[in-house]
Amino acid sequence: MTDPIKEAYMNIERAMYEFNVLLEQQVMTLRESETSDPTKLERLTHGAKAMRDSSAIFLSYAKFIACGMPDSEEMIEE
């Protein structure tokens, strides 16, 4: 993985992590609020989980591509 590609990957990884943390914080805020809309809470809860799962899938594939699509997983840098 070249340094610019590694740096770009790390930036994406950090941004997705931060985004997911913020979504989870919003879910917690809605849960603690007495005036929150139950439908909105349910949708945001499911959306936050979907984003977390999608982020993991995306990052896994992005790392694979960034590492030059090696023939085996052992060749992927940590």
Q: How far apart are CA 54 and CA 20, in angstroms?
A: 10
* Amino acid present at 37: D
Q: How far apart are CA 59 and CA 68, in angstroms?
A: 14
Q: Is 75's pLDDT higher than 60? A: no
Q: How far apart are CA 64 and CA 55, in angstroms?
A: 14
Q: How far apart are CA 68 and CA 10, in angstroms?
A: 16
Q: Model confidence over 5-57: pLDDT tens digits?
A: 999 999 999 999 999 999 999 999 999 998 989 999 999 999 999 999 999 99
pLDDT greater at residue 47 or residue 68: 47
Q: Is 77's pLDDT higher than 70? A: no
Please give the structure tokens belonging to residue 73: 């997983």
Q: Is 74's pLDDT higher than 70? A: no
